[in-house]
Structure 1
Amino acid sequence: MPCSVREATPNDEQQIRALLSLVIHESLDATVHNIPSILNNVNDNVDLWRTAPDNIVHLVAEMDGRLVGVIMIKEFWNFCSLFVDPSYQRRGIGRQLVKIAVEKCRGRCPHDVIYMHANNEAVDFYRKLGFEVNNTSRTPPAGSTEMKLRLV
């Protein structure tokens, strides 16, 4: 069964939060990443989406009747999360979510550039989608690399 992607709705909130927690706990190395801080951050972003949904691209992927992926880009330039259920990874779901979300940002992004802090293990994945390392003087959070995608 193929994956379907759609806008997140308030009815998805509980499943989104559960998926975020599952992926963070199963996929991130607690010796490198500050898991409690990451959980707080992604949950704060879900709270923000509930209050200001018009300024956020927030999509979910469904497969086999389950919510298996989620992506959020705030203010059409701040790529803050991409999570895919570990049992559904390597099936193109993350790639599909990124491509659709980026298209939704085109023409709405104030800088014509999307910025993110990518998990170091995902840098090659994002490079294949056109992102590049953004060399700045800022220090990204532990275990991550600052990246950008030019929209023009």
Structure 2
Amino acid sequence: MQQMMLQNTKFKIQYPSGNSQILGISMLLIISMTWLIRQIQNDYTPQSILYLGGAQILIYTIVLIIFIYRKSMKTTLLMISRDSLFINDRIVEANEIKMLMVTGYFRPLLGIRPTDKKYVPTNLCFRFLEEEDQGMKELKNWAEQNQIPFLQKGFTRWI
């Protein structure tokens, strides 16, 4: 079998938009705030319940800010070299990768799952901005050369 040697190739990538997550967290935040306002108006609500409701709203707000921050992040580069990937200012060696996963068809989302992680870290989850077909082909060839599974399956990413 003839293996094509990859040169250093670069592709523009970005984090996934997260619009559905932003919408979901916003709805949870509105519902929680409405519930907390009603509980404050109720004279019989224990203080501990009010504190827990406030903590819940704080957590939702922090998660929402994280999603909005990630959505606003600029594009970055994915550089494919012979035995490593340079992604988001981080070098990932082929021996550190358990598998590459792709989910979706029209705007596929790629995830790189390290060997020591159960989930795909958010900084290793991306979409191609330009030359999507070429990027997918190069990444698949790179995975085959380094004997890394390249799977079409859904994956979970951590915030």
Query: Could you say whether these structures have the same fold, taking a TM-score greater than 0.5 normalized by the shorter chain as the test?
Result: no
If you compute each CA radius of gyration, which structure gives the higher value, 1 or 2? 2
